[in-house]
Copies of this chain bind each other. A is one copy, B any other.
Amino acid sequence: MAKETRRPQTNLCTYDEHSIHLRGVDLVDDMIGKMGFTEVFFRQFMNRAPSAAEVTVLDAILVTLMEHGLTPSAISARMIASSAPEALQAAIAAGILGVGSRFVGTIEDSALLLKELVDAPEGFEARAEAVIARYRAERKAVPGFGHHLHRPDDPRSIRLLALADELGLGGKYVTGIRDLSTILDRIAGKHLTINATGAIGALLCEIDVPPSIARGIAVVSRAAGLVAHIREEQEDPACRFIWDMAEHELSAPHKKG
């Protein structure tokens, strides 16, 4: 059957009647009650044990992205929680589907850009200038820069980069985003915010998280934030209010023919 295909293998979990191992570690004897969520999460997707500093950084990222009020993601989750209260998982799914290219999904673009600049054969600055020129020509924001609210600086970014320094994790990518910021400000002739997704992209590079999986960390964080929104929706529903308001403000008038 399916002879021509090399057989893939999954190594995340093995088990029998009496024990369950995650990446070879005994779940019951060595994880439950002994390791926190963040450490086990890191072990599973990175396939190695994190250092204490890496756990702190991953915690910091997860905490940073969890919540920012009635975002499109939170509104979506509340609409579905109210429509299908028996299926809480559907409400969370509806919310995390918004972790796309516009908002937190930009983390991977920031990480990819930093990797490109750090590895550029022509040197960081030359490549940075070329990349910035390209984004400016397309009238697009450079990934990791700019924020509609948090100006001139995003307090989260400053804190996250400082935390990396404190933990001794601030290497070439943390330096890189600061250098990129300097170059960008010079070319733009004004100061542009290093936004939270930019700083997080740099931190994820420092702890070797592949950009292709970066968005998953944002999704987990947002899923956690949405649980609180759904709880609030259960206790003090906002769905009907938003629905009525949207219909009232945005609907074309009804002309009975």
Contacts and interface: CB of A to CB of B under 8 A. Distances in A.
B92 A94 contact: no
Nearest to A166: B33
A210 B231 CA distance: 9
B83 A102 contact: yes
A176 B56 CA distance: 37
Nearest to A233: B8
A84 B84 contact: no
Interface residues of A, number: 127
A186 B215 CA distance: 42
A97 B86 CA distance: 11
Copies of this protein, total: 4
Interface in A68-92: 68-73, 75-76, 79-80, 82-92
Q: By DSSP majority rule, is chain A's interface helix, strand, loop, or mixed?
A: helix
A103 interface: yes
A118 interface: no
A69 B217 CA distance: 20
Contacts of A231: 45, 210, 212-213, 216
Nearest to A36: B59
Interface stretch (A109-117, A131-139, A151-159): A151-159
A93 B248 CA distance: 25
Interface in A1-53: 1-2, 5, 7-22, 24, 26-28, 31-33, 35-38, 40-41, 44-45
Given A12-B67, A223-B223, 12 more contacts: A5-B244, A17-B149, A27-B64, A33-B60, A37-B63, A41-B227, A44-B67, A70-B243, A84-B98, A210-B231, A216-B231, A220-B224
19 contacts: A5-B240, A5-B244, A7-B241, A14-B252, A15-B149, A15-B254, A17-B149, A24-B257, A37-B221, A38-B38, A40-B63, A40-B66, A41-B224, A72-B82, A91-B97, A241-B250, A242-B242, A245-B245, A245-B246
